[in-house]
Amino acid sequence: MLSEGSSFMKGMALGGIFCLLLSLLGSFTPGMQSSPEDQHHHHHIKAPTNDELQSLSEPQMVELSQKVRVYCVIMVQPKVLVYWATAKDTWSKHCDQAVFYSSESAKALEAVDLNEQDEWTKLRKALKHAYDNSGDLRWFFVARPTTFAIIENLKYLILAKDPNEPFYIGHAMKSGELEYVEYESGIVLSYEALRRLVNVFKDEEKCPERGRALWKLSEEKQLAICLKYTGVFAENGEDTQGKGLFNSKSVSSLIEDGMSKNPLDVVEGCCSDLAITFSGMSPNQMQVMMFGVYRLRPYGHNFHDSLIFFPPEGSDND
Partner 1 sequence: MKALGSRCAFFIGFLVGTCTLYVFLHQVWFERTFSTLQPDGLEKTAAQLHELEEDSKNWKKERSALFNLNHPHHKGEDSHMADELYKKVRILCWVMTGPNNLQKKARHIKNTWSRHCNVVVFMSSVDDPDFPTVGLGTKEGRDQLYWKTIRAFHYALENHGDEADWFLKADDDTYVVVDNLRWVLANHTPEEPIYFGRRFKPYTKQGYMSGGAGYVLSKEALKRFVEGFKTKVCTHTTHVEDLAMGQCMEKVGVVAGDARETPSSGRPFHPFVPEQHLTSKFSKSFWYWSYCYYPISEGPNCCSDLSVSFHYVDASLMYLLEYYTYHLRAFGYRYRYQPPSPLGYKIEAWDGADGGHSYSKESNRPSRGGHWRGWRVRPGQTGNRK
* Distance of closest approach, residue 308 Cβ to partner 1, in angstroms: 4
Q: Which range of residues in 17-25, 108-116, 164-172, 199-207 is near partner 1 by CB under 8 A?
A: 17-25
Helix (H, G, I), strand (E, B) or coil at 262: coil
Q: Which range of residues in 103-111, 122-130, 201-209, 267-275 is near partner 1 by CB under 8 A?
A: 267-275
Which residues, numbered 115-144, are part of the site for partner 1 (CB under 8 A)?
Answer: none
Judged by CB under 8 A, the residue of 96, 182, 220, 235 near partner 1 is 96
Interface with partner 1 (CB under 8 A), residue total 87
9 counts as binding partner 1 under rule CB under 8 A: yes
Residue closer to partner 1 by CB (options 2, 214) is 2
Of 96, 124, 125, which is closest to residue 112 (Cα–Cα)?
Answer: 125
* Distance of closest approach, residue 133 Cβ to partner 1, in angstroms: 15
Which residues, numbered 29-68, are part of the site for partner 1 (CB under 8 A)?
Answer: 32, 50, 54, 58, 61-62, 65-66, 68
81 counts as binding partner 1 under rule CB under 8 A: no
* Separation of alpha carbons 127 and 183, rounded Å: 13
Q: Give just the sign of the alpha carbon dihedral 178, 184, 185, 187.
A: positive
H or E element that contains 98:
strand 97-102
Residue closer to partner 1 by CB (options 4, 205) is 4
273 counts as binding partner 1 under rule CB under 8 A: yes
Query: HSE (CB half, 13 Å, CA atoms) of 14?
Result: 6
CB 82 within 8 A of CB 283: yes
Of 208, 242, 240, which is closest to residue 50 (Cα–Cα)?
Answer: 240
Residue closer to partner 1 by CB (options 165, 312) is 312
177 counts as binding partner 1 under rule CB under 8 A: no
Residue closer to partner 1 by CB (options 215, 310) is 310
Of 89, 97, 109, 103, which is closest to residue 73 (Cα–Cα)?
Answer: 97
Distances (CA, A) of 16 to 2, 31, 80: 21, 21, 51
DSSP letters for 197-213: HHHHHT-TTTS-SS--S
Q: Which range of residues in 92-100, 166-174, 188-196, 210-218 is near partner 1 by CB under 8 A?
A: 92-100
Q: Which range of residues in 111-119, 122-130, 216-224, 265-273 is near partner 1 by CB under 8 A?
A: 265-273
